[in-house]
Structure formats: C-alpha cells, structure tokens
Amino acid sequence: MAEQLEFYFDFSSPYGYLASFRIDDIAAKHGRSVTWRPYLLGAVFPVSGMKPLVQIPLKNTYSLHDLNRVSRLYNIPFQLPDPFPIPTQAAGRVFYFLDDSDPELAKIFAKAAMTAYFAENVDIRTRETVADIAAKAGGDHEACLAAINDPVYKDRLKNETQTGIDRGAFGSPFVFVDGEPFWGNDRLEMIDAWLERGGW
C-alpha cells in the first residue's frame, strides 16, 4: 500500500488553514491518504531565524492581501483573527489525543478549530474553548480537557514538532510525499502533479 502523505501545519497558520481544505482531496485523487501532523511554529522559528508573517515589513501587507485573494479563489471563509498569531499547544495536544484513537475525528476537530479561529475570530488558546470545539466535533469534553494538561500529550506535541524540524519542515503547510518536501499552500498543485507523474 502506498505511503500516506504527511501534512505538517500549525493551528495558527492561515496558509495551513487554507491547505487543510484541499490536501485530503488532492491525495484521494491519486488513491492516497494523508496523516495530519500539527506542530509548533513557535519552536521552529528560533531554529530558522524566520518570523511570523505579520512581523515582516512589506511581506505582512502582501500576505494579508494574498490570504484574502486565495480564500476568495477557493471559497474558503477567512478573516485575519485578532490576536494573531497565537500559541497553539492546547489544540495540538487535543489533536494528538483524538488522533490516537480516531484520526478522522482528529481531522474534523482540527478543521473545526481552525475554522473557529480563521473564520469566526474565536480565540483557541484556552483549554475550555478547545475542549468545547472538540466536544462539538464528537470528542469527549472532559477527556480532551484532561489531555491538554497531560504530560503524555505535552511530550507528544513537542516530539512531533522536533521530528518535523529534524525532517526539514520550517513552515506551514509543509507536506512530505514519499519523503519529498513541499512547502506552502501554493505548492498543492505541484503535489498533485508529483502524484500524477510519480515525481520527475
């Protein structure tokens, strides 16, 4: 059976959010599925020396314009949330807790959490809010709340982040296709072509 694609993203990454709507469909066209791997750009930036979009003069103005343009193109609701960016430990830990027993549920939760943040300006930093979103998606409210403070899921998120960095991921979205790295929402078409041709 063909290897799964691996989709690294940060819950606070707008381009990761946009990519989350399309990555599974692109993989499915080619009979492939996708493993989602939330990680923490807050831990990646000190390694790369890069900064969040909004902190980069010129690029910040362009990126906001571009995010609105890309979201219009794909009919994805989007508004830059405030505050932005935010730390996303709570959402990441709940994701891996759900993922352990039900990867599809974890994806539904992730989509709901990013949609809450990027389309409805819901602050997804707090435990209660994240657990509420998880419960609405079909998870157990108390268990999700507990996972956020559980050393097992604290370590899991840290380790997944380190694994991403060790493999060379430095942004969001960052996708591995049979080991081949693709950075950015604007590379989804290239991933599609890569899967179609089996590389080049």
Q: Is 66 in the site for a second copy (CB under 8 A)?
A: yes
Task: Read off the DSSP letter of residue 2.
Answer: P
Amino acid sitting at position 28: A
For residue 7, list its beta bridge partners.
36, 175
Q: Does the footprint of a second copy cover residue 29 (CB under 8 A)?
A: no
User: Which DSSP category does 174 fall into?
Assistant: E
- Under a CB-based contact definition with an 8 Å cutoff, are residues 198 and 192 in contact? no
Binding-site residue total for a second copy (CB under 8 A)?
31
**Rounded to 5 degrees, what angle do the CA atoms 28, 30, 31 make?**
60
Residue window 152-181: x/- pattern of binding to a second copy, with contact defined by CB under 8 A: -------------x--xxxx---------x
The string of DSSP letters for 74-103 reads TT------SS-S---HHHHHHHHHHHHH-H
Question: Which listed residue (69, 77, 83, 151) binds a second copy by CB under 8 A?
Answer: 69
Select the residue interacting with a second copy from 1, 31, 73, 82 (CB under 8 A).
73
With CB under 8 A as the contact rule, the residue among 2, 28, 62, 100 that binds a second copy is: 62
Task: Check: CB of residue 30 under 8 Å from CB of residue 143.
Answer: no
Interacting stretch for a second copy, rule CB under 8 A, among 56-64, 93-101, 123-131, 138-146? 56-64
Minimum gap (Å) between residue 184 Cβ and a second copy: 7
Using DSSP bridges, classify how beta strands 5-9 and 34-38 pair: parallel, antiparallel or unpaired: parallel
- Of residues 138 and 168, the one with the C-beta less far from a second copy: 168
What residues line the site for a second copy (CB under 8 A)?
44, 47-51, 56-59, 61-62, 65-66, 69, 72-73, 165, 168-171, 181, 183-184, 186-187, 189-190, 193, 200
